[in-house]
Structure 1
């Protein structure tokens, strides 16, 4: 399998009460990276994309900020919809979600990263 066929998504959190999340995406598909760079910033009423930067030729860093933090909600409540959006975008470029029916948030929390392949 070529490295171009693997997409890695990692979410970095500071603490359980964190209001800022870093989402790092390792992607060797130039058209998908370009798509994300040209796409309007994410905003769903609770979270907004505060920044996007190209860290390397293959890594993009997204900065998310919780705008309205509710009590007793896990961090995945905030970054989960954004990560799901990344996954849905990747489907258009023939990447596939992991099989097994495990929620994306659970995979990320358990393994520290989500890997999509094509």
Structure 2
């Protein structure tokens, strides 16, 4: 089975929902196992988050054989009133730039 992620205590700046969405944006055909490992969550937590994101219209999926292909709805607005007018695409631009920069730093 999957490896249990290392525990984390305290608060963080990004929600697990944002982390999962960013992981999917980086690979639209990622397996739940891979998303869980990347986000340091359990597979069950990732499944629940994906269900939440789909239920609220941020994400859809289609079956491709034994895999899923995820489609992010980029023009969907973020939920919190303080983020009024900010779209998923605008959030993901920032998160993916961060991931690209981090990947470049670790490969040097």
TM-score, normalised by the number of residues in structure 2: 0.33
Q: Relative contact order, CA 8 A, sep 6+: which one is greater?
A: 1
**Normalized per residue, which structure has more strand?**
1
TM-score, normalised by the number of residues in structure 1: 0.31
**Normalized per residue, which structure has more helix?**
2
